[in-house]
Amino acid sequence: MLAIESKKKCLSMIRKYNFLMSQHEEVKVFVRDATGLVRNVSGGSSFFATFALVTGGVPIFLISLLFLTPGANMYAALAIMFIPSAALGAVYTIFGISMPRSGGDYVFVSRGLNSVLGFLNSFGLFFAYVFSLGIYSLFAAQYLAYAIYTYGFMYSNGALVNIASTMLSLNVEVVSAIIVILVFLLLLTFVSTRTAFRVIYITGILEVISTVILFGITATISHSTFVSAFDKFGGAGAYSGVISTALSNGLLYNTHLSSTLLALPIAWYAFTWYTLPANWSGEMKQVRKSLPIAIIYALAFILVFYLAFYFTTFHAFGQLFMTAWSFNYVNGLSLPFSFIGTYTPFFVSLVYDNPIIPILGVLVFWLPDVLFFVPTMIGASRYLFGWSFDRAMPEVFSKVSLRTKTPFVTTITVGVIGIIGVLAYAYIPSAAIIDIIPIFDFGFIIPAITAILVPFWRKDLYNNSFVIKRKIAGVPLITWLGIIALAGIIYGIIGLWNSYLMPINATTGISLGLVYIAAAIIFVTMYFVNRRKGINITHAYKEIPPE
C-alpha cells in the first residue's frame, strides 16, 4: 500500500511539474531562447553591401535632379551633409555593437525610448525599404536597356535599338523588374546568408575596379572634345541647343550660395540606406569590428565615390549642360537622344567608340542596383523577424530554415510586397513616390531622438549595455551624435518640404496615415491576441532579445 501511495504521489508531483513547466512555456516573453540565426557575415561583405545599398541606381537618379538645384556646388553639399550622415551612422554603430540583434533601430528604439514608437517607426521604414524594391528593379530594367541601346547606336544596329526600345516599354519593364525580384527571392530563400554576402563581396570588388576605370576614362575627356562629339552625332549646334532650350523654358542657372543650400537636402538623401546593416548586426562576425566597417568606413568611401562621379561628369560634359539636360528630360522638352534619359555612360561612348564602355557602365551603375536587392531584402526581413520574436507579429515570421539558417517566411513576404511595389511604381508612380521619400525623411527622427535621450531616459540600459559611454563636455557622446544627426534630418525635411521629391498634400497625408494606422492596428491586435494566451508582450521591451 505504501508503495502504491508513494507511486501516486510521485505521479501527482510529475503532473504538477509538467503543468508548471507548460505554464512557464505559455508565458515565456520571447518566442524561444535563441534566434536560430548564425554569425557568419563579415565586415568586408557588409561594406560592399552598404555600397550597393546607397549607390545602386542613385548616381543616374541624382543627375536627373540637377535641375532642382541649378548651379549648386555639389562637392560642398555632399561634404556638409556627410557630417550629419556620419553622426547618424555612428549612432547606429554604437547601438548595433551594444545590442547586436535582428531588427536594428526597432530594437534600439523599442528598448531605449518606447515600445510603440519603436514598432510604428520601424514599420514605416520596413514599408519604405520593401516598397522601394519596386523602383530599383525598374531602374535595373532601364539601365540594361540603355546599355543595349548604346551598342545599337554605336554600331548602327537597328535590331539592338529595337530590343532596347521594347525593353523600355512599361509592361516589359514591369515583367523584367518582377523577374529580378523573383531571382533574388529564390536566391535568399534557398541559399545561406553567408553565401549571399559572399556574392556581394566578390562582385563588390569588381564594381570598385570598374568604377575606377570608367571614372578614369571619363576624366580624360576634355569639354571641347565632348562638345565636338555631341554635335557630330546630334547635329550642328546640338550641344548649345540643349542649353538654350532649357534656359528659354525657365531654367534659372546660377552659382549663388542659395543653389548650394537647396542641394543640401538632396545630398543628405543621397547617403540614406547606410543604416540598414544594423538590421543584420546579430549575424555579423566580430560585430564590434565589422559594424563600423559596414557603416562608417562605407560612408566615407561612398562620399569619395560621389565626389569623383560629380567631378568627372562635370569636367567632361559641363555642369550647365547636364543641368539643362535634366531640365529638358524631366519636362519632356526636345533632346537629341531623349531615349537615353540621364544615363551618362552613353555620353562617354559618344567620345570613345569602344565596346568596353557600355560594359563598364553596366558594372558601375547596373550591377550595384541589382545587388542592392540582397542586403535590402535581408535587412527588411530582419524587421519582420525581430517583431515576430517579440510576439508583435505572428510567430510564423520567426521560423528559421534548419538548412540555410535564414528566416525564409519573412524573406518570401518581403519579395511579395516588393512585387506589389513594382506594380505601384509602374502604374501609380505619384502615389508610390510620396509614400517612400517622406517615410525615409521622417523615419530617422525617432532613432536620433532615442540617441539623445537614452543615457537619461534609460540609464539602466545605457550603463549596462552600451560599450561606448564616452562624454564630451559632460554630455554623453551618443547624445551629441544624436543632436548632430537630428539637425541634418530636420534641415533635409525643411529643404524638401512640399517639393518635387516630397510633395506634402492630402494624398501624402492619407498615404502615410494608412501606413502607420496599419502598424498600430497590428500592434494592438497582437497585444490582445497574446494577452489571451497569458502573455504581455510589453515585457519583451524591458529586455534585450536573446541571440
State the average pLDDT for the chain.
89
pLDDT class of 433 with cuts at 50, 70, 90: low
Q: Which residues pair with 471 in a beta bridge?
A: 476
**Domain 40-542 falls under CATH 1.20.1740.10:** yes
> According to the model, what pLDDT value does residue 59 have?
93
Q: At what angle do helices 373-389 and 193-219 cross, to 10 degrees?
A: 140
Q: What is the pLDDT at residue 415?
A: 93
pTM recorded for the entire structure: 0.90
The answer on pLDDT for 203 being more than 70 is yes
Which one-letter DSSP state was computed for residue 41? B
Q: Is the pLDDT of residue 19 over 50?
A: no
Q: Domain coordinates of the chain in residue numbers?
A: 40-542
414-432: pLDDT as tens digits: 999 999 989 988 888 766 6
Between 99 and 228, whose confidence is greater? 228
Confidence band, pLDDT 50/70/90 cuts, at residue 255: confident
- In order of 277, 407, 414, 477, the CA distances from 36 in angstroms are 19, 9, 20, 33
pLDDT band at 1 (very low <50, low <70, confident <90, very high): very low
Q: Which residue has the cell 539637425?
A: 487
Q: What pLDDT shows up at residue 6?
A: 53
Confidence at residue 16, expressed as pLDDT on a 0 to 100 scale: 46
Q: Where is pLDDT greater, at 12 or 239?
A: 239
Q: State mean pLDDT over 449-476.
A: 93
Interval 365-390: pLDDT, tens: 999 999 899 999 999 999 999 999 88
Give residue-wise pLDDT tens across range 479-502: 999 999 999 999 988 888 777 777
Q: What's the confidence (pLDDT) of residue 534?
A: 87
Give 32's pLDDT tier (boundaries 50, 70, 90).
low
Query: Mind listing the pLDDT tens digit for each residue in 82-92?
Result: 999 999 999 99
Biggest alpha carbon distance in the chain? 114
Q: How far is CA 73 from the centre of its chain?
A: 25
